[in-house]
Amino acid sequence: MFAAIWPRAAIIAVVVLVWWAVYETGFWDRVLLPSPASVWDALTSNLTGPNGLIAVAYRSVFRLFVGLGVAVVIGTPIGLAMARWQLFQRSVGSLVVGLQALPSIAWLPLATLWFGLNEKAVLFVVVLGAFPAVAIGTAAAVRMVPPHLVRAGRTLGARGWVLYGRVVLPAAVPGYIAGLQQAWAIAWRALMAAELLVAGARGLGHLIARAGAQYDTSLVLAAMIVIMLVGVGVDALFSWVDRRVRRRRGLLVRA
């Protein structure tokens, strides 16, 4: 436990110390670069309440999972079809790769025209950001299923959908989880960007935008810290699932 915590604590301490030292030199205006203490103060005094950091973060995380859920529902079947049919891969597959290359925030102007400055526009941007990653990750996971497992399934008499559902898909699960890990990170970034720009969406991104407009740099930094903390938390959740699956299959190399 201690071995897991001290490197994290140490790097935080180093960052805070450097920050504090720069702050003390007075090189930057103290409004533009607040001290760690005032950020800590902004963080702790704005935690609760209807527009406190916890409530706002909750709204953002909720949106993240709704958006990610929709992306999974759309992206998974597309990815499976990409792995299965070459024609689909060449047509829809290349479109998905193109979407993957496009930062999804570029959709925001259109999304606000279509849906208005609201929740729907934000979710649209999140889904368009995350579903290509889900689809590409799913297709890659299916393609990387070890051929000897498929051969074994066939010699046992599994064919068609039975072979697919009972052998190919379960064998693809570790790769699929890796794809989801990518997708959630993309979704989270797309969400923050969209919230920054859409005033109607009261999330962490919006909080940063509002605090920045009011020169409340301490609160900006406090919200940024919360965004990182949420990210670390969600990542820990996915990593936990990933480790569980891989340990069960003997794919985890213990150091």
Partner 1 sequence: MTSKPALHVVPEAGATQVKLSIRGVSKTYVQASGERVPALEHARLDIAKGEFVCLIGPSGCGKSTLLNLIAGLDRPDEGSVLMDGRPVTRPGPDRAVLFQEPSLFPWMSVVANVEFALELTGVAKRERTERAMDWLDKVHLTRFALAQPHELSPGMRQRATLARALACQPEVLLADEPFGALDAQSREILQRELQSVWLETRNTFVFVTHNVREAVFLADRVVLMSSRPGRFVAEHRISTPRPRAFEDVLLSKVVVDVHDHLLKEVEEAVASEAGVRGDLA
Per-residue exposure over 201-233, b if at least 16 CB sit within 10 Å of its own CB, e if not: bbbbbbbbbbbeeeebbbbbbbbeebbeebbee
d(Cα 75, Cα 137) in Å, to the nearest integer? 9
Which of 178/225 has CB closer to partner 1? 178
Q: How far is the CB of 26 from partner 1 (least distance, A)?
A: 59
Q: Choose between 26 and 250: whose C-beta lies nearer to partner 1.
A: 250
Nearer to partner 1, 8 or 154 (CB): 154
Task: Please give the residue ranges that form the binding site for partner 1 (CB under 8 A).
Answer: 148-149, 151-159, 162, 166-167, 170-171, 173, 248-251
Give the tokens for residue 93: 């597959």
Residue 240: both structure tokens together: 């936990």
CA distance 192 to 203: 8
CB of 254 to partner 1, least distance (A): 12
Q: Minimum Å distance from CB 143 to partner 1?
A: 18
Pick between residue 33 and residue 158 the one whose CB is nearest to partner 1.
158
In the complex, minimum distance from the CB of residue 148 to partner 1, in angstroms, rounded to a whole number: 5
Q: How far is CA 228 from the centre of its chain?
A: 11
* CB of 255 vs partner 1, minimal distance in Å: 17
The rounded Cα 100 to chain-centroid distance in angstroms is 14
Cβ(171)–Cβ(17) below 8 Å: no
Q: Which CB atom, from 167 or from 220, has the smaller least distance to partner 1?
A: 167
CA distance 144 to 251: 14
